[in-house]
Amino acid sequence: MPAPENRYPNPFLPEAPWNGLEQFREPLCYELAGRAFHLVMDNGCDYALHFLTEEMVSWGERGKAMRWDTYECLKLDDRTYFVNWEVTGLPLRHCISLVLDLQGNLVTAVHARIGEVRTAPYLVTHDILFGAIRVPGKPLNPMRHAFTPNLVGQNIFWRYSSGFGITHAYITEHYLRVPIGQPRELPEGATEEEKRERDAEYQRRKQHLFEIPAFYVKIREDIYFFGFIEETECRQDPTLCGNSLIMVMDTRKIHDIGRCFGSDYENHYAPQNFVFSAFGAFHQTPDLIDDMPSPYRIM
Amino acid sequence: MSYRERVIGREIFNPVSSVPCPGGMKQYRVASTCEMAGKTLNLHLDGMEKPVCVHFLDAENLLWGFPGQGMRWETYEAAKGDERLYLIKFLLAQSSPLTEITLAVDEESTRVTCVRATLGSDRAHPRLVESRVYFGAFRLPHEDVTESRHAFTEELTGKRIIWRYNPNDEVMHCFCGKDFFRLGHAERTLAENASEEARARYRLFQERKGVYPVYEEPAYYIRLREGFYLYSVTERNLNRLLPQQGGSQLLILLNAHRVRYIGRVFGYRADGTVENDFIGAIGKFSSEPDEVEALPFPVYTPE
């Protein structure tokens, strides 16, 4: 993805201390502090999850030692939380992300790693695991969050900051594209040079289909969990990073919360792992990508 | 789309959801917070003789009272403006005139701002919200109450923000002076398939044009912490000129760093029901002045 930049100068913050994807992030959620969960996952393992404080989580598999890490949490709605932490002290980078659905007492976990693919050392790989939350006195919910085709064919323009937004085109159950026909927004009064830069960037995009593998999971009515890894580009040029972005989305409010896990190839491959929020709009704008064959996969 | 062109009654396009989008100023408001549950604040507010105890029983219910007196139970809602900065609102049950309390609580500094708003206290203007600000702080155990206070500020004067409330709507807030506020000029049109409610709303805008061509209202601006402000806009001029319109108070907790806000609106809706809801928006500062900023102040002669 092109590196976002804030094109709307903020008189109160000339230099933002955060990535352009992070600007509209809501305050971190501390509501889980002090709470514990028993997760029964479909890999056959039970896990304990104990949020010790607003920042520290203790977790582990049943019968094994618990370990603690530093987590961040965002709240999508009254019953849906997104929790993310990086596992410390391992030779490869590991990231655990959870969608805790306290309405259905269900959980979906994403276990992401960096460094498993020898030929693309910065490519993120991940596993998606479904499960349920054991609630004392209640039978375990036999239902699961599940992969869904419900979003196929939809386009959402997501705003991450004052000056950056991007459209996600959910073209199939397994792929996502970025439309070409969305020239970058320019501020009112943009200079000729800025316009030229925008046009040149638009031309480059026209010549290059951005298509990446993605997953789509339904959490409940109007709540979806989706994500992708910037894998296509990374496989062609392993010096790129192949970062992973995952998001929980409320389609009614057209709002999502999520995290980016990966590395910053423009900054000496500095580790990246941050949570963000975005606010969107569905649209039906026809685009060149709608009928474009994929140069990356057999269709 | 621009804040200068607003289409009244245009539905938010949503091909996925089973029920319509919330729309309006609630589309992009974020979830309420339960983080106040179990906490107790011993509030010392300037201008009040006694401290006030506010005990948040759970995520919805609180008790409040003065020392040595019975505690009153109210239902509340809280939203989070930043780490350890909360906006809390509750109506005083059975109050007359109808009274709403909004607290901006900064847990880092212990400073608190309380806005007490009443609806219907002025019989000549029954739709008009009157509000009073109390600055103060909450007391930590075994510590003196800080002397430091939130304070009125002019730091926002001359700035403007274009707020986006939903996929269809933007407005520009122009912080023209330390005690007044204008909206950037917008031309309004009616959507082809607008509902009857939207058509009625459009008619109200049309009726305004002659007597209330510019949205200019009294405001106050309070600095909460670096980059965070609370500002109030009360539709006093609109209500004075058109007694069946306006009168509501908008109270916004602005995060000027991330350019987003949470806020609450208190007043009468067009249908006569009371509105006391949280709202939210994302935005961008604009360096381009709007035409309304060039107008002399005041546009409307004070009473």
Q: Which of A82, A185, A279, A283 to mutate to test the interface with B (most CBs of B within 10 A)?
A: A279
Determine, for residues B282 and A8 on separate chains, whether the beta-carbon distance falls below 8 Å: no
On average, the pLDDT of chain A sits at: 94
So where are chain B's domains?
5-9+17-29+152-294, 40-140
Distance separating alpha carbons of residues A230 and A240, to the nearest angstrom: 9
Task: Among B81, B83, B282, select the one facing A24 at the smallest CB separation.
Answer: B282
| ipTM computed for the complex | 0.94
Contact A251 B282 (CB under 8 A): no
Q: What is the pLDDT of residue A93?
A: 97
pLDDT of residue A207: 85
Tell me whether the CATH fold assigned to B5-9+17-29+152-294 matches the one assigned to B40-140.
yes
Q: Rounded CA gap, B159 and B279, in Å?
A: 21
Q: Tell if the CB–CB gap between B21 and A253 is shorter than 8 Å.
A: yes
Residue A7 — pLDDT band, cuts 50, 70, 90?
low
pLDDT band at A184 (very low <50, low <70, confident <90, very high): confident
For residue B47, the 8-state DSSP code is T
Of A9, A28, A75, the CB nearest to B31: A75
Instruction: Kindly give the parts of chain B with pLDDT less than 70.
Output: 303
Give the Cα separation of B231 and B220 in Å (integer): 6
Which residue in the set B82, B167, B285 is minimally distant from A11, CB to CB?
B285
Q: With cut-offs at 50, 70 and 90, classify the pLDDT of residue A110.
A: very high
Helix (H) or strand (E) holding A146: strand A146-147
Distance CA A79, CA B103 (A): 25
- With residues binned 3-state (H G I as helix, E B as strand, rest as coil), the percentages for chain B, rounded to 5, are 10, 45, 45
CA distance A52 to chain B (A): 15
Q: Which residues of A25-57 are buried (b: 16+ CB within 10 A; e: fewer)?
A: bbbbbbbbeeeebbbbbeeeeebebbbeebeeb
Task: Identify the band that residue A188 occupies on the pLDDT scale cut at 50, 70 and 90.
Answer: confident
Q: Is B27 on the interface with A (CB under 8 A)?
A: yes
> Considering only CA atoms, which of B302, B153, B166, B170 is closest in space to residue B223?
B153
- Comparing alpha-carbon positions, the chain A residue that sits nearest to B157 is A11
pLDDT in the model for residue B303: 67
Question: Does residue B197 sit in helix, strand or coil?
Answer: helix
Percent of chain A with pLDDT over 90: 83
**CATH classification (class only), B5-9+17-29+152-294:** mainly beta
| Three-state SS at B224 | strand
Interface test with chain B among A13, A26, A220, by most B beta carbons within 10 Å: A26
B283 and chain A in contact, CB less than 8 A:
yes
What is the CATH number that goes with domain B40-140? 2.40.128.20
- Phi, psi (degrees; rounded to nearest 5) at A266: -85, -5
Minimum-distance CB partner of A76 among B31, B168, B257? B31
pLDDT tens profile A232-248: 989 889 888 899 999 99
Residue B39 has a pLDDT of 97
First to last CA, chain A: 24
Any alpha helices (H) in chain B, and if so which ranges?
Answer: 196-211, 236-241
pLDDT of residue A95: 98
pLDDT of residue A3: 43
CA closest to A257 among chain B residues: B30
Q: Is the preceding omega at residue A149 within 30 degrees of 0, hence cis?
A: no
Q: Using one digit for the tens of pLDDT, what is the confidence trace for A238-295?
A: 888 899 999 999 999 999 999 999 999 999 999 999 999 999 999 999 998 998 999 9
Query: Is residue B104 within 8 Å of residue B270, measured between CB atoms?
Result: no
Please state, in angstroms and as integers, the Cα–Cα distance from residue B113 to each residue in A269, B91, B223, B278, following that order: 45, 16, 10, 17
Q: Does A254 touch chain B (CB under 8 A)?
A: yes
| Min Cα separation B284/chain A (Å) | 5
| A1, pLDDT greater than 80 | no
Q: Does B296 touch chain A (CB under 8 A)?
A: no
Statement: residue A204 has pLDDT above 90: no
Of B14, B35, B168, the CB nearest to A251: B14
Q: B83 vs A27: CB contact, 8 Å cut-off? A: yes
Q: Does B289 touch chain A (CB under 8 A)?
A: no
Cβ–Cβ gap A282/B22 under 8 Å? no
